[in-house]
Amino acid sequence: MSISEDRKELDSYINERVDIDSVASFKGNEHIVKLKLKFDIEKIRKSLDDIKAGAEFKTAASGFHAIAMTKRKDSSVDSDKDLVGRYYTRVDESYKEVAKDELVDEASFCELVDIFKGTYFETIYDELSARYPIGRVRILEKDSFNCNSWHRDPEPRIHIPIYTNPGALFIVNHHCTHLPADGSVYFTDTRGYHTALNGGFKPRTHLVATLAYPEYKP
Ligand SMILES: [Fe+2]
C-alpha cells in the first residue's frame, strides 16, 4: 500500500457522519431483545425504595451488590454463594475457557423471599413465572465505573432495568446497547459471552431473573 492510498483509506472514514444519538437508546439484536411484556416503572421504583428500607444489598463482587428475591423451597435463609452461580470465562492469552463457581439448580429457587411478598415485585414475579421458567431472581446494583467479568452463563436471563443512566451498557458477544428503565422487559441471551458495565456517574439497578432452562452446552 502506498502512502496516498493509506491516506485515502482513512479519509473515507473521517468523512463519515458520526452518530451520537442512537447510543442513548435501546438497540437490540438476536441476543438482546425487548419483549412485549411491560411493567409500571413508577410502581417498581416505589416498591424498591420501600424494600431497601428493610433489606440490605449484599456485595456479590467488587462494586456489585445483590438482594435475593427468590429462595429455595422451605429454606429460611439465602446463602451468599447463591448470589453468584456457575459461569465460564477465558482468563488469559491461551483463550481457553474455564468453569468458575458451582452449578446452581435454578428451578429449586421457586419461593419469593418474605420482604417482597405483597409488593409490586410479587406481581412481577407471578407474571414472569406464569410465562417463563423462572429460577433465581435478584435485584442487582452496580456502582458507578464498575464492570462485570467477561463470561457466559449456563442459562439466559430476563432483565428489568429499575434505575439506570446513559453510561450503563450491556454487551453480548459483539453487540452493545443501553437498556432504558421504562418498565421494559429484556431477554438477554447470556449463554453468549457478555458483561454489564456502568460507565455512568450513578449506580445502576436491574431486576435479573434466570431462565431455568437446562444448561446450554455449546
Ligand atoms: Fe452473567
| CATH code where residue 104 lies | 2.60.120.330
Q: What whole-number distance in Å separates Cα of residue 133 and Cα of residue 131?
A: 7
For residue 103, report the distance from its CA to the centre of ligand 1, in Å: 13
Model confidence pLDDT, tens digit, residues 51-65: 999 888 898 888 999
CA of 156 to the centre of ligand 1 (A): 8
Name the maximum alpha-carbon separation found in the chain. 73
CB-based neighbours (< 5 A) of ligand 1, an ion: 153, 190
**Residue 57 counted as domain residue:** yes
pLDDT tens, position by position, 17-44: 999 999 999 999 999 999 999 999 999 9
Mean model confidence pLDDT for the chain: 94
d(CA 168, CA 143): 10
CA of 116 to the centre of ligand 1 (A): 23
Kindly give the distance from the C-alpha atom of residue 13 to the centroid of ligand 1, in angstroms, as a whole number.
35
* Dist. CA 10 → ligand 1 center (Å): 37
Q: Model's pTM, two decimal places?
A: 0.94
User: What DSSP string describes 157-214?
Assistant: EEEEEEE--TTEEEEETTEEEE---SSEEEEE-TTS-EEEEE-SSS-EEEEEEEE-PP
pLDDT in tens, 161-195: 999 999 999 999 999 999 999 999 999 999 999 99
Residue at 19 is within a domain: no
Residue 216 domain flag? no
Q: How far is the CA of 43 from the centre of ligand 1 (A)?
A: 26
Choice between 107 and 204, residue whose per-residue pLDDT is larger: 204
Is 217 a member of any domain? Answer: no
pLDDT given at position 210: 96
Q: How far is the CA of 153 from the centre of ligand 1 (A)?
A: 5
Q: What is the pLDDT of residue 76?
A: 67
Count of domains for the chain: 1
Average pLDDT rounded to a whole number, residues 61-75: 90
Let me know if residue 3 belongs to a domain.
no
Domain residues for the domain of 86 are 25-211
Q: Examine residue 60 and state whether it is found in any structural domain, yes or no.
A: yes
Q: Identify the pLDDT of residue 25.
A: 98
Amino acid identity for residue 184 in this structure: S
| Predicted pLDDT at 31 | 97
| Predicted confidence band of residue 74 (pLDDT cuts 50, 70, 90) | confident
Q: How far is the CA of 110 from the centre of ligand 1 (A)?
A: 20
- Is 152 inside a domain boundary? yes
Task: Confirm whether 20 is domain-assigned.
Answer: no
**Position 139 pLDDT exceeds 80:** yes
pLDDT value for 60: 85
The pLDDT value recorded for residue 80 is 63
| Ligand 1 centre distance from Cα of residue 6 (Å) | 41
* Dist CA 208 CA 18 (whole Å): 33
CA 193 to ligand 1 centroid distance, Å = 8
